[in-house]
Amino acid sequence: MSGDLKERFARLAEAVAVRRDQKAFGELFDYFAPRLKSYLQRLGMESSQAEEMTQEVMIVLWHKASLFDSSKSSLGTWLFRIARNRRIDALRRDRSGLLDPEDPALHPSQPEAADDIVEAEERDERVRQAMLDLPEEQATLVRQAFFLGRSHSQIAEDTGLPLGTVKSRIRLAFARLRRTLESGDGDVTFH
């Protein structure tokens, strides 16, 4: 997340905390809700459960935005941590007895080291900059596939493009991103 975007989200969260600013909340909701839902689905939640939990996380933002501290993390990190913890709580409440106590999702992760966070943000910024060099038709498909978590089939259906075209454009975009990122400082690998 770029520094400007991170700061913008922090300001919007502050507006929600201080003034209950509905417009600020709406902007945050529009940006984070689809990403949270996609994240929860990747963790194995059904679409309807992920949608419901996303709503819960956004309600936490509305009611407890004052607890967010931009000096400790980005708003995205804070919201995704809430989503992860809510999912763990839901798994623990599940009385089906099917929980595996060794499931990594049930064990809290260690906080990320500050230098790892900075390195990840720098890498993310390099990827964002590389994305700007892609033709728009490729960039749009990459965003749908990897930032919104949509399958190639869903993208083909939504865009009206043949599935092969979607796959080909994404493959070409990755090749171009790989070349751009590897020609930079050489420490970014793209799989």
- The CA-based dihedral angle spanning residues 87, 89, 91, 96, taken in that order and rounded to the nearest 10 degrees: -150
Residue range 148-179, pLDDT digits in tens: 778 888 888 888 989 899 899 889 988 888 88
In tens, the pLDDT along 10-54 reads 999 999 999 999 999 999 999 999 999 999 998 888 888 999 999
Given 1.10.1740.10, 3.30.2350.10, 3.20.20.70, 3.40.30.10, which CATH number is that of 3-106?
1.10.1740.10
CA dihedral 169, 175, 176, 179 (to 10 degrees): 180
Q: What is the mean pLDDT of the chain?
A: 83
More confident: 102 or 79: 79
Q: Where in the chain is the domain with CATH 1.10.10.10?
A: 114-184
H-type alpha helices, 3-133: 3-19, 22-42, 47-64, 75-93, 114-132
* Cα→Cα distances 123→24, 56, 109, 136, 152, Å: 28, 30, 22, 21, 25
Average pLDDT over residues 80-107: 75
At 63-74, the pLDDT tens digits run 999 999 888 889
Domain 114-184 fold is Arc Repressor Mutant, subunit A (1.10.10)
Identify the pLDDT of residue 191. Answer: 44
Residue 109 has pLDDT above 70, yes or no: no
Q: In the chain, what percentage of residues exceed pLDDT 90?
A: 30
Q: Where in the chain is the domain with CATH 1.10.1740.10?
A: 3-106
Identity of residue 66: S
pLDDT at position 35, please? 92
Query: Helix, strand, or coil here: 112?
Result: coil
pLDDT of residue 123: 78
